[in-house]
Structure 1
Amino acid sequence: MPARRRVATAASVAVVGVAPLALTALAAAPASAHGSMGDPVSRVSQCYAEGPESPKSDACKAAVAAGGTQALYDWNGIRIGDAGGRHQELIADGELCSAGNDEFKGLDLARADWPATGVSSGSYTFKYRVTAPHKGTFNVYITKEGYDPAQPLAWDDLDLKNPVATVTDPAASGGFYTFSGTLPKRSGKQVLYAVWQRSDSPEAFYSCSDVTFGGASGGSGTGPTPGDSAAPTASAPSEEQIEDGADESTIEHHGHGDQDAGTSAEPTAANRPKAAGVTENLAETGGDSSTPYIAMGGAAALALGAATLFMSVRRRAVNGDRHGR
């Protein structure tokens, strides 16, 4: 084989060898955020705390019967990848707690006996359990006076004009976003609906928290609710429970490798990356909005460098042939 062809072929192999690396970097996804309301505890977190394989409350048993145990192991993945603020457009009445995701349909069951957190009107400190922090805005809505928990939750049941809490880019600490809000006067069983819309992606997360008014006064209401025997007291999963169940989850807990650069896939497809455990400092996991651009820039640099190398060795080979003649 002539020297020029041999060198050119070798350079071509080098370029081809770099190409998969460049494509991999270009396909790298931004860190994907995940979480669910921790206080007042969300339905999915409550049922996970009871134990996916043998939940204790009748409501959680019914949820597992309807949707299976995997939904509970995937407690931090009730999401829509391409929401972009179109929550009412994408989620039908009666499917708010599952965000229209069939895996979580058991959470939409209309029951008056969901385990509930006792609360009172006034200031409340919300704690959102996060497994990959990201920029975005939280809005927490409450059901209107007269809400009937025995009926499917609809958008019209929520007071959308007056969220009880709104916060943008809170700091994550100890695995939680903590922010303040104000609960209005209500009585009996109500639902708090949390929407976390990321600002660095169209992805959004959703959760339903059952509360009963008449419990602890102000702050975080986690005590029992007097006179309400129909709704067991809610309790959030412990760190040990979360860690123990991570291997059973199909949700990426650290937000690395969603493999969906736009986080725009359908929820059932986008909720399937492998779990990676939850033992590292949660406040330090996950990238920011620059992550995909850094990856793309690195890939472009690799490709450009390979192309430059190819042209350089090719010129030297051509010149060498000419001098040899």
Structure 2
Amino acid sequence: MKFKKSLLIMGLTAFGSIPFFNIAESNPLHGYNDSPPSRALLCAKRLNKDCGPIMYEPQSVEGPKGFPQGGPPDGKIASAGVGQFNQLNEQTDTRWHHVNVSKGKNDFTWTLTARHSTTSWQYFITKPDWDPNSPLTRAQFDLKPFCERFDNGAKPAQTITLHCDVPERSGYHVILGVWTISDTDNAFYQVIDADIK
């Protein structure tokens, strides 16, 4: 049984490099930003290094809801305040793999491994003059979401796509996706390290 569980956790796709994260555990799994890929997902794909246990469960970045008034504390936004995912909070302009994102119209897609009654989906972006070599704090972000959708407690499909207009930015910026659950006190947090063209 132990061997089978290890195979589930460490299983690879046919390409041999991307981990399989449909882990058979007693607690439910949740969701991650699939496109553009989040920091946590790129840890699972091994494009981000030295990530700690998030590499096995990119769908589990869950913390208190209510961002920006509530939610995880400053400096721990990327990990949702979860101690075991603390490596996600490391922040320099070269620490993480960057993904290309265009200004203007973009699709942002979540893949859900467990569907929860949902209040909203929101995306925030760092300010034009943010400091990429300082911790992620509310002061680093434009606190008005540039994209949002309200589901009023509905259970979403397994894949959710939002059509968003990325604001005028250039170079490296962090985009924060927040999936807020309606029937718990929690939300899921995903940061995207975007190279905006």
Q: Taking structure 1 as the reference length, what is the TM-score of the superposition?
A: 0.48
SS in 2 for 1:208: strand
1:115 partnered with 2:101: no
Note closer, same or farther for the CA distance 1:40–1:202 as it changes in structure 2 (3 Å cut): same
Q: Is the 8 A contact 1:88 1:155 kept in 2?
A: no
The match for 2:140 among 139, 157, 163 is 157
Higher helix share: 1
Where does residue 23 of structure 1 map in the other structure?
A: none
User: For residues 135 and 180 of structure 1, what CA distance do their matches in structure 2 show?
Assistant: 21
Letter in 1 for 2:135: P
Equivalent positions of 1:147-296 (< 5 A) are 147-161=130-144, 163-169=145-151, 172-173=156-157, 175-214=158-197
User: For residues 210 and 123 of structure 1, what CA distance do their matches in structure 2 show?
Assistant: 17
1:132 partnered with 2:114: yes
Where does residue 28 of structure 1 map in the other structure?
A: none
Post-superposition offset of 1:72: 1.4
User: For residues 130 and 114 of structure 2, what CA distance do their matches in structure 1 show?
Assistant: 33
User: For residues 128 and 76 of structure 1, what CA distance do their matches in structure 2 show?
Assistant: 10
User: For residues 121 and 39 of structure 1, what CA distance do their matches in structure 2 show?
Assistant: 15
User: For residues 29 and 50 of structure 2, what CA distance do their matches in structure 1 show?
Assistant: 28
User: For residues 127 and 194 of structure 1, what CA distance do their matches in structure 2 show?
Assistant: 10
Q: Is the 8 A contact 1:33 1:134 kept in 2?
A: no
User: For residues 90 and 119 of structure 1, what CA distance do their matches in structure 2 show?
Assistant: 26
Q: Is the 8 A contact 2:117 2:156 kept in 1?
A: no
* Structure 1 residues 31-80: Cα deviation after superposition (integer angstroms, max 9, x where no partner): 95611111111101011012xxxxxx5xx3233xxxx3x22112111112
Where does residue 101 of structure 1 map in the other structure?
A: 82
* Structure 1 residues 1-37: Cα deviation after superposition (integer angstroms, max 9, x where no partner): xxxxxxxxxxxxxxxxxxxxxxxxxxxxxx9561111
Which 5+ residue runs of structure 2 have no aligned equivalent? Answer: 1-26
Q: Is the 8 A contact 1:135 1:168 kept in 2?
A: no
Fraction of identical pairs, as percent: 31
User: For residues 148 and 200 of structure 1, what CA distance do their matches in structure 2 show?
Assistant: 36
Post-superposition offset of 1:115: 1.1
Where does residue 14 of structure 2 map in the other structure?
A: none
Higher strand share: 2
Q: Which has the larger radius of gyration?
A: 1
Equivalent positions of 1:22-61 (< 5 A) are 34-50=30-46, 57=47, 60-61=48-49
Post-superposition offset of 1:129: 1.4
Where does residue 291 of structure 1 map in the other structure?
A: none
Letter in 1 for 2:35: D
Where does residue 62 of structure 1 map in the other structure?
A: 50
Q: Is the 8 A contact 2:73 2:81 kept in 1?
A: yes
Post-superposition offset of 1:111: 1.9
Where does residue 124 of structure 2 map in the other structure?
A: 141
